[in-house]
Amino acid sequence: MAKQKKQPRPKAITPKGFRDYFGTEVTERAEMLQKIAGVYHRYGFDALESSAVETVEALGKFLPDVDRPNEGVFAWQEDDAKEGQDWLALRYDLTAPLARVFAQYRNDLPTPYRRYAMGPVWRNEKPGPGRFRQFYQCDADTVGTSSMAADAEICAMLADCLEEVGIPRGDYVIRVNNRKVLEGVLEAVDLANVSNPNGPPDYYDDMGEWQANILRTIDKFDKVGEQGVRDLLGEGRKDASGAFIDGIGLSDAQSEPVVAFLTSKGVNNAETLQNLSSAVGSSEIGYEGIRELEEIIALLNAQNYQADRIIIDPSVVRGLGYYTGPVYEAELTFEITDDKGRPRQFGSVAGGGRYDDLVRRFTGQEVPATGVSIGVDRLLSALHAKGRMDQTAKGPVVVTVMDRSRMADYQAMVAELRTAGIRAEVYLGNPKNFGNQLKYADKRNSPAAVIQGSDEHDKGIIQIKDLILGAKIAENATYEEWKERPSQFEVPRDQLVAKIREILDGQD
């Protein structure tokens, strides 16, 4: 055998932009996903777990005239693969795989197909603070129906999910908007008569191009506000850095319906719909969008979801350029304190909408679909921010080792505890230094330690140390309290399980 070259030691690092999750970070997310899956299931949605790897062709991330997949995906070339299947990539979301799966299995799947999917996705992007290149998505979509009942159902389900994971009613609102209403507004804008000070006239020879520009501007409403949108629709504005951003050249009158749309939210849904009606004027598609919103609200009311949970809000613009009909967004309305100590609203934790070209890329057929994606990591951090998560991980009861030759006795103790359903373990490190054993128990967030030296063994007893109480007492108890509430108990060996249970119950 050839001798291997001496290699330098590898670095033990998580790749840049990736992270590891420990203990409760893993189990809290798993519990949340399980609760959400329970709601999805109750609504008739079926689980789908597609492979993490897709052909780049199926993902559609191959740009023409480029010999590598474009940015945003982690991709590699397969050896000995067929033309078109030679590049593989990690999925960047759960919707592209759904499109592929539905196209592939459409003859076997029920239609409409309600499916949910949960799992990691990968983005080959520059990582930033709190932005990772692997993160969880948690989606539910209904494929193959244009019925507004599908959209209404997903809004109701979203509300149920939030309550199921611990966001009480009143602390969230689901806002619904509709791309078609906006399109009606654009029809109401007399685009043919636009003067454009910034570009050559033939740049805007295409109405679609115009609409796309207005959509892009509207997508900035969250960031730049009403006046900002007015400026960007008109002659332009200075951004924060002082650079001048060209506007798209609408007159004030022409911008008006767009701004009216964005700000048309009334005191109730009826007033909002009234405002929207004036904004779209006689546009047919605009009218259709309003009718859709009315239908969604009527269906939700029939299921007892009222305006305290789900409302029409035309200021919801996220994704308006991407979706084709209703869009929805779940926002948490309680205040949290941000990094700089300022109060702010927590904001969006889920969003979705209707998109009607899901599988056309594969089959040429238009298949209507609507769906939602819940940002589980944001939702978890919201629950933490509200103090609705038990921050301390429940560690195991630690049975210490006083006498190495009696390991079997200690094992018998943990076996009893485990059989009783109590999390427990024997200290398995070097038992020589007893202090190290208690330090270990501390690091493990152990609720209690069990101690049995030769003396105790001969007397048939054990010592149990309540570590939570002990820590509390050490921190702030008076001498009297300390004397009255001992944190260490001597009990007969056969009362191990009973006494530990008593201590655990007292700590809850």
The answer to whether 30 contacts its own copies (rule: CB under 8 A) is yes
Nearer to its own copies (CB atom), residue 149 or residue 498: 149
- From the CB of 290, what's the least distance to its own copies, in Å? 18
Residues 199-258 within binding reach of its own copies (CB under 8 A): none
Name which of 93, 181, 100, 164 is nearest 134 in CA terms. 93
Give CA–CA dist 273/279, Å, rounded.
Answer: 10
**Cα 390 to Cα 472: distance, rounded to the nearest angstrom:** 17
Q: Does 100 bind its own copies (CB under 8 A)?
A: yes
Judged by CB under 8 A, which of 170, 199, 429, 492 binds its own copies?
429
Q: Is 122 in the site for its own copies (CB under 8 A)?
A: yes
CA dist 298 and 97 (Å) reads 33
Q: At what angle do helices 252-262 and 221-233 cross, to 10 degrees?
A: 160
Report if residue 450 touches its own copies, rule: CB under 8 A.
Answer: no
**Beta carbon nearer to its own copies, 235 or 409:** 409
Q: Which of residues 322-351 bind its own copies (CB under 8 A)?
A: none
Please give the distance of CA 498 from its chain centroid, rounded to a whole number: 41
Output 254 or 269, the one with its CB closest to its own copies: 269
10 Å CB burial of residue 480 (0-12, 13-18, 19+) is exposed
Shortest gap between Cβ of 478 and its own copies (angstroms)? 32
End-to-end CA distance of the chain: 61
Whole-angstrom distance, CA of residue 261 vs CA of residue 252: 14
467 binds its own copies (CB under 8 A): no
- Candidates 185-193, 356-364, 464-472, 478-486; binding stretch for its own copies (CB under 8 A): 356-364
Comparison of 125 and 256: residue with beta carbon closer to its own copies:
125
Is 54 among the residues that bind its own copies (CB under 8 A)? yes
The Cα–Cα gap between 328 and 350 comes to 8
Length of the chain counted residue by residue? 508
Q: Cβ closer to its own copies: 248 or 259?
A: 248
Site for its own copies in 143-162 (CB under 8 A): 144-145, 147, 149-150, 152-153, 156, 160
Is the alpha carbon torsion for 267, 272, 278, 280 positive or negative? positive
For residues 86 and 71, what is the distance between their CA atoms, to the nearest angstrom? Answer: 17
Q: Which is nearer to its own copies, 241 or 304 (CB)?
A: 304
- Total binding residues for its own copies by CB under 8 A? 110
Q: Of these, 32, 36, 58, 438, which contacts its own copies (CB under 8 A)? A: 58
Nearest-angstrom CA–CA distance, 328 and 373: 10
Q: Which amino acid, one-letter code, is at 112?
A: P
- Of 144 and 184, which CB lies nearer to its own copies in the complex structure? 144
As measured in angstroms, the least distance from the Cβ of 32 to its own copies is: 13
